[in-house]
C-alpha cells in the first residue's frame, strides 16, 4: 500500500497570513507553484492560490501591496496525513474538487509536504484520470451571489 509520504513534495514553503498578496505572488513565481500553504507559526491555517489572488484581490480592485494574504486565502483548508493511503487522499481530493492538498505529520501535526494532481499523475497514475475528471467538474463560486 502506497502512502502519501511516498509521493508527496517535501520541504514546502509556507507564507504568513500577514504577508502581502504581492509577496505571495512573488513567492509563487519564484517557486513555480500555483498555491502556498498559509501558516501562523507552525499551525496550518489556510491556502492561498493564484486564483485567490486573481479573483478575490485583483478583480475586486484591491492593492497587492496593501492586501494581506489572510484577506484572500481559503481558510477552510483540507489536509491529509503523511501516513494515509494514496487512494484515500485521491478520494478526498476528488470529493472536494481540489488539485493539491497539504500533508501533515501524523505525530507532530506540522506541515511536512504537499500532494498535487501532478504528483499523483507521475508517481501513482492508476486512478488519476477519474480523479482529474471529478476535480475538473464545474463547481459553484465560493463568493456571495448578487441578487438582481
CATH superfamily of 4-135: CBS-domain (3.10.580.10)
HEC per residue, 59-107: CCCCCCCCCEHHHHCECCCCCEECCCEHHHHHHHHHHHCCCEEEEECCC
Residue 134: per-residue pLDDT: 56
pLDDT tens for each residue of 121-137: 877 655 555 555 555 56
For residue 141, the model assigns a pLDDT of 57
Residue-averaged pLDDT of the chain: 86
Where in the chain are the domains?
4-135
Task: Indicate the pairing of strand 35-40 with strand 9-10.
Answer: unpaired
For 28-69, how does the pLDDT look when each residue is reduced to its tens digit (9 = 90+)? 999 999 999 999 988 999 999 999 999 999 888 999 999 999
Amino acid at each position: 500500500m502506497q502512502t502519501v509520504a511516498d509521493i508527496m513534495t517535501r520541504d514546502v514553503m509556507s507564507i504568513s497570513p500577514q504577508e502581502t498578496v504581492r509577496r505571495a505572488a512573488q513567492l509563487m513565481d519564484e517557486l513555480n507553484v500555483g498555491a502556498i500553504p498559509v501558516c501562523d507559526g507552525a499551525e496550518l491555517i489556510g491556502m492561498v492560490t493564484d486564483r485567490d489572488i486573481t479573483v478575490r484581490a485583483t478583480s475586486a480592485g484591491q492593492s497587492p501591496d496593501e492586501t494581506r494574504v489572510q484577506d484572500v486565502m481559503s481558510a477552510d483548508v483540507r489536509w491529509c496525513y503523511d501516513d494515509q493511503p494514496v487512494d484515500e487522499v485521491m478520494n478526498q481530493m476528488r470529493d472536494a474538487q481540489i488539485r493539491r492538498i497539504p500533508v501533515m505529520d501524523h505525530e507532530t501535526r506540522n506541515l511536512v509536504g504537499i500532494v498535487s494532481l501532478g504528483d499523483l499523475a507521475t508517481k501513482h497514475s492508476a486512478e488519476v484520470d477519474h480523479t482529474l475528471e471529478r476535480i475538473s467538474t464545474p463547481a459553484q463560486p465560493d463568493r456571495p451571489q448578487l441578487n438582481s
